[in-house]
Amino acid sequence: MNPKEAELNEIRDMLIDSNMFNRLKAAEYRSAAPYFGINNYREGETIFKEGDKGTFMCIVMAGRVSVIKSDMDGNDVVMGIEGVGHVFGEMAVLDSEPRSATCAAKTHCQLLTLAKTSMDAMIVEQPHIGAEVIRSIAINLSHRMRFAAGRLVDRLEQD
Q: Which CATH architecture has domain 3-158?
A: Sandwich (2.60)
pTM metric for this prediction: 0.88
Helix axes 116-125, 127-158, angle to 10 degrees: 130
Extents of the domains making up the chain: 3-158
Q: Mind listing the pLDDT tens digit for each residue in 27-57?
A: 899 999 999 999 999 999 999 999 999 999 9
Q: According to the model, what pLDDT value does residue 22 have?
A: 87
Q: Mind listing the pLDDT tens digit for each residue in 65-112?
A: 999 998 889 889 999 999 999 999 998 888 888 999 999 999 999 999
